[in-house]
Amino acid sequence: MTTYVIILIAVIILGIPTIIVVNKFPKIRLAFQIVYFVLIVVFGYLLFVNINKPIAFDRELDKRYDATVERLKDIRTIQIVYKDKYGKYTGGLDTIINFVKHDSLEISKTIQVKEWNQDEVTKEEAFKTGILVKSSSYVPVFDSLWGKSGYSIEQIKYVPYIDNVEFTMGAGEVETASKVKVNVFECYVLYSDLLNGMDEQLIVNYIDEKTKYGGFAGIRVGSLTEANNNAGNWEQ
């Protein structure tokens, strides 16, 4: 809006005196035409920048937002697998990286080694008599989650497109309304970090819009204050 006001004032201030001067001194008409051409180019550029600024902001915002959500989903997946093995979540980003890189998961399966008449022998009896046996194997966590892909697990702790900004993560316990203690974790990045380097006023406007009804000022998965089934605030 400010740009439009400046242009309008400039046209009003310069327009009337220019008409008077050119009518009085026709020989300088060309000089004024050149000046006005330059002003038109400058004002046109300012208008383009002013119109394009929110469009470029939204485009960059969508790119960063989507990539961040996908990374938080991956962190959630690892946390669930980690809890399945160790009984609780971890608050350490480096811990989940090491877990994926160096740990393994047990895969159990049932093998039938003898003839089994299921009408006469229950599954429990089949295990006791050796008709069925359990076999275990181990698979690396990384292979279990991403197969043989080139996924860069070392980058999972960093916010996408922002240099050296790490997510904030924690883990703990909360007590539900029914007095049951539940393991929880939380991982997030604030909008002020996510949008770092973009237009400052548009960042302020965006954060105000997202938080005016008590919303969290960032993208977050899980919660340390309530058992929300590891939901992300982009899903709510």
Backbone angles phi, psi at 116, to 5 degrees: -135, 115
- Residue 186 CA to its chain's centroid (Å): 14
CA distance 6 to 161: 35
What's the pLDDT at 111?
A: 80
- Residue carrying the six token digits 């924690």: 170
- Residue 193 neighbours by CB under 8 Å, 6+ apart: 159, 162, 165, 218
Residue with tokens 């009984």: 87
Token output for 42: 């400058």
pLDDT at position 110? 81
Consecutive 10-residue averages of pLDDT for the chain (236 residues): 60 65 67 67 68 86 97 97 96 97 88 81 84 83 86 94 94 92 97 94 94 92 94 91
CA–CA separation, 98 vs 96, rounded Å? 5
- Average pLDDT across the chain, whole number: 86
Q: Tokens in use for 188? A: 């997030």
Spatial contact of 184 and 174, defined as CB atoms under 8 Å apart:
yes
Helices (H), 135-197: 141-146, 191-194
Q: What are phi and psi of 227, to 5 degrees?
A: -85, 100
What's the confidence (pLDDT) of residue 105? 92
pTM across the whole model: 0.75
Tokens 């008590």 belong to 214
Render pLDDT for 70-126 as a digit per residue (tens, 0 to 9): 999 999 999 999 999 999 999 999 999 999 999 999 887 888 888 888 878 888 888
What is the distance between the alpha carbons of residues 199 and 180, in angstroms, rounded to a whole number? Answer: 46
Rounded Cα gap, residues 72 and 156, in angstroms: 8
**Tokens of residue 26, six digits:** 């026709």
DSSP conformational letter for 166: B
All structural domains of the chain with their residue ranges: 2-52
Cα–Cα nearest to 78, from 62, 93, 59: 93
